């Protein structure tokens, strides 16, 4: 079973989109294993986005991500990393198809409401960065038997 790190960014939290986003992951058949509302420091965001250090938007991105509460979550399920990325849409909302989070809920690449890990490896790194082991819960979901053969 795979896990991924999903976060509603400060613009998404301010715009009241946490419920809408949680609903989409629940409906798809993924299981919430951890969640917390937190104000990330700029240092934390610099570590999170370390691979983008050279990008011209890096400083602004880290400032924006630490400018208000972020709703951080870990979701579990079969192929959740890839499927969640598809649910998010493209990085640029203008390239995102209707039906995706970014294609439905936002218009600007710099305020694209949601983060999702792009690979299984990065998901592991990000989950460790945002959550302690005891903040994640293992429990049996009654839906499990009905989601896969
Ligand atoms: P994603 O969030 O789809 O994984 P990414 O990892 O390439 O995209 O970039 C991280 C975030 O940085 C992205 O969600 C929004 C911001 N970003 C990316 N490209 C940008 C650009 N050209 N101008 C402004 N912000 C950008
Ligand atoms: Mg990324």
Show which residues are catalytic: 115
110 lines ligand 1 (CB under 6 A): yes
- The pLDDT value given to residue 62: 98
Cβ burial, residue 50 (10 Å; 0-12/13-18/19+)? exposed
The answer, yes or no, to whether any atom of ligand 1 lies below 6 A from the CB of 91, is yes
pTM, two decimal places: 0.97
Structure confidence at residue 58 as a pLDDT band (50, 70, 90) = very high
User: Average pLDDT of 87-105?
Assistant: 98
Residues at Cβ < 5 Å from ligand 2 ion:
118
Q: What percent of the chain has pLDDT over 70?
A: 100
Q: How far is the CA of 143 from the centre of ligand 1 (A)?
A: 34
């Amino acid at each position: 079973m795979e896990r991924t790190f999903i976060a509603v960014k400060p613009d998404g939290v301010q715009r009241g989109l946490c419920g809408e986003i949680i609903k989409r992951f629940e409906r798809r058949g993924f299981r919430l294993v951890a969640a917390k509302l937190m104000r990330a420091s700029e240092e934390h965001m610099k570590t999170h986005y370390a691979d983008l250090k050279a990008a011209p938007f890096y400083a602004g991105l880290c400032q924006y991500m630490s400018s208000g509460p972020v709703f951080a979550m870990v979701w579990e399920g079969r192929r959740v990393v890839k499927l969640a990325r598809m649910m998010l849409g493209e990085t640029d909302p203008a390239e995102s198809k209707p039906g995706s989070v970014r294609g439905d809920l936002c218009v600007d690449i710099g305020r694209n409401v949601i983060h999702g890990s792009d690979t299984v490896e990065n998901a592991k790194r990000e989950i460790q960065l945002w959550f302690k082991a005891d903040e994640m819960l293992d429990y049996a979901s009654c839906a499990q038997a009905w989601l896969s053969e």
